[in-house]
């Protein structure tokens, strides 16, 4: 009976993943470039005066969650170099947060030099961990837009709580209830509360029980990140068919890993970049193998055959018996 229940749950999850995939692929078809920017206006940005950066997609979600987990309220970040240039100082207790970004690098492609965007990893510090920094300016339009997008796109419903100062996850109603004061202000405070509660809802309320709700929630959180990455791939590649195939494969493979995916922006970034660049590799390079690689390949094939019982190596005793048999037959034929 238990096995039947497990099978039903697995079927439900697979069905959920496929349905979600189809919905998002539909969005890609309909208006991919506008759609991929929906989450880009979250007020998660750099305070570097010379080269301000808005952290989008995976970085926006990952930074917001990590920042909220650490009890920070300022969603601005600076690199160590930017802090030093501004004459500011990083607190001794501060810990850096990882970001992933694209850096164009020149590569020789069939004799032609091309600028290919390569995935790089960097580290930033929250404004809460920087001494002497000025308070964050408030962009009302951006904050309102971020609030609307968050409520509309959230995996779990976000509602205004009747409580003025307490935000919580209501497991019975499956709602993230944001304190009325924070909800009305919107913007970075609301996003920080949401990120912290979404993570808490997953870990505290469902994870130990391993319930169906938790599995769905993990899939939704993972899907949000993978979706952002696929949007980035489409902007650079521009081929709907290739992106669809890639997305279907990666989503169905990775959605079940849930919170692991949420915690690792680098992992999701690598799905898009394939560890090298945003250019999709359809077929493996068919270059001739070097002698060393050829030997390794042949040895590997022999081992695989031996394991499968196709080419079983004779034992020492079998070798001796064969030699004796051959010697006897040779002796008989010479008489």
pLDDT in tens, 232-253: 444 444 444 555 555 555 544 5
In total, the chain counts a number of residues equal to: 335
Rounded (5°) CA angle 172-174-178: 110
> Among 41-45, 177-181, 190-194, 316-320, whose mean pLDDT is lowest?
41-45
Q: How confident is the model at residue 316 (pLDDT cuts 50, 70, 90)?
A: confident
* Residue at token pair 């929906």: 38
Tell me the Ramachandran region of residue 123: left when phi exceeds 0, alpha when psi lies from -120 to 50, beta otherwise: beta
pLDDT per position as a tens digit, 169-179:
776 777 777 77
For 281-289, the CB contacts below 8 A with 24+ separation are 282/242
The mean per-residue pLDDT over the stretch 19-44 comes to: 43
Q: Give whole-number Cα distances, 172 to 168, 193, 274, in Å.
A: 12, 19, 41
Amino acid 300: pLDDT: 77
Check if the beta carbon of residue 221 is closer than 8 Å to that of residue 259: yes
Q: Give whole-number Cα distances, 324 to 35, 239, 312, 329, in Å.
A: 78, 68, 20, 9
Element (H, E) at 12: helix 2-30
* pTM score of the predicted model: 0.37
Bridge partners of 160, per DSSP, are: 178
Question: What is the sign of the dihedral through the CA atoms of 289, 291, 296 and 298?
Answer: positive
Enumerate residues 6+ apart whose C-beta is below 8 A from 162. 180
Other beta carbons less than 10 A from residue 225's beta carbon? 24
Angle between helices 57-69 and 187-200 (to 10 degrees): 80
Percent of the chain with pLDDT over 70: 34
Give me the chain's average pLDDT, please. Answer: 61
Q: Give whole-number Cα distances, 247 to 32, 230, 267, in Å.
A: 13, 7, 15
pLDDT per position as a tens digit, 182-211:
777 665 556 555 655 654 554 444 334 444
For the chain, give percent helix, strand, coil, nearest 5.
55, 15, 30
Question: Smallest Cα–Cα separation from 8: which of 223, 249, 215?
Answer: 215
Question: Smallest Cα–Cα separation from 181: which of 169, 166, 171?
Answer: 166
Check if the beta carbon of residue 153 is closer than 8 Å to that of residue 39: yes
Rounded Cα gap, residues 74 and 135, in angstroms: 9
Selected residue with higher pLDDT from 20 and 49: 49
Amino acid 122: pLDDT: 80
Other beta carbons less than 10 A from residue 142's beta carbon? 17
Give the number of C-alpha atoms closer than 13 A to the C-alpha of residue 154, restricted to the C-beta side: 22
Amino acid 91: pLDDT: 94
pLDDT per position as a tens digit, 76-101:
888 898 899 889 999 998 998 877 66
Question: What tokens does 71 get?
Answer: 């009890």
What are the φ/ψ torsions at residue 210 (nearest 5 degrees)?
Answer: 55, 45
Check if the beta carbon of residue 78 is closer than 8 Å to that of residue 123: no
Q: Is 72 strand, coil or helix?
A: coil
């Amino acid at each position: 009976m238990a096995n039947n229940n497990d099978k039903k749950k697995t079927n439900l999850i697979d069905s959920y993943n496929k349905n979600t995939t189809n919905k998002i692929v539909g969005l890609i078809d309909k208006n991919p470039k506008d759609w991929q920017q929906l989450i880009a206006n979250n007020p998660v940005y750099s305070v570097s005066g010379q080269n301000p950066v808005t952290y989008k997609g995976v970085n926006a979600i990952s930074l917001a969650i990590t920042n909220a987990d650490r009890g920070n309220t300022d969603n601005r970040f600076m690199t160590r170099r930017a802090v030093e240039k501004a004459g500011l100082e990083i607190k001794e207790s501060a810990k850096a947060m990882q970001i992933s970004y694209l850096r164009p690098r020149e590569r020789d492609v069939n004799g032609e030099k091309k600028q290919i965007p390569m995935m790089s990893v960097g580290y930033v510090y929250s404004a809460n961990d920087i001494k002497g920094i000025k308070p964050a300016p408030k962009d009302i339009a951006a904050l309102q837009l971020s609030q609307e997008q968050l409520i509309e796109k959230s995996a779990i419903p976000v509602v205004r709580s009747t409580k003025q100062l307490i935000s919580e996850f209501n497991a019975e109603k499956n709602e993230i209830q944001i304190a009325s004061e924070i909800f009305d202000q919107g913007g970075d405070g609301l996003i920080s509360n949401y990120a912290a509660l979404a993570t808490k809802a997953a870990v505290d309320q469902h994870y130990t029980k391993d319930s169906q709700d938790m599995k769905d929630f993990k899939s939704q959180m993972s899907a949000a990140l993978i979706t952002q990455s696929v949007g980035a791939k489409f902007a650079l590649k521009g081929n709907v068919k290739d992106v669809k195939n890639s997305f279907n494969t990666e989503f169905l493979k990775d959605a079940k890993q849930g919170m692991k995916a949420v915690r690792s922006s680098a992992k999701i970034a690598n799905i898009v970049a394939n560890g090298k660049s945003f250019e999709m590799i359809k077929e493996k390079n068919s270059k001739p193998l070097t002698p060393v690689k050829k030997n390794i390949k042949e040895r590997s094939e022999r081992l695989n055959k031996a394991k499968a019982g196709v080419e079983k190596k004779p034992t020492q005793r079998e070798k001796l018996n064969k030699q004796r048999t051959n010697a006897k037959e040779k002796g008989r034929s010479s008489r």
